Amino acid sequence: MGEENYTKRIESKLEVQTYLAQLKYALNSGNTRIVFQKKRHADENRDERYTNRYTIHTLFPDEDEIHVLKRELLGLSYRDYIETVKDTTFPGKSEMRVFGKTYSDRDVYIKIRVELLSMKGAIGGNFILVMSFHFAEVAFKDSDFPYR
Strand 81-87 versus strand 6-9 pairing type: antiparallel
* Contact assessment for residue 74 and residue 27, using Cβ atoms and an 8 Å cutoff: yes
pLDDT per position as a tens digit, 87-97: 888 888 889 99
Give the global pTM: 0.90
pLDDT per position as a tens digit, 3-39: 568 899 999 999 999 999 989 988 998 888 899 988 7
In sequence order, the β-bridge partners of residue 83 are: 98
Total residues belonging to the chain: 148
Q: At 134, is the secondary structure helix, strand, or coil?
A: strand
In sequence order, the β-bridge partners of residue 86 are: 7
Mean pLDDT of the chain: 89
Residue 118: pLDDT over 60: no
Give the pLDDT score at 126: 79
Q: Would you list the domain boundaries of the chain?
A: 3-144
Q: How far is CA 105 from the centre of its chain?
A: 19
Structural class in CATH, domain 3-144 = alpha beta
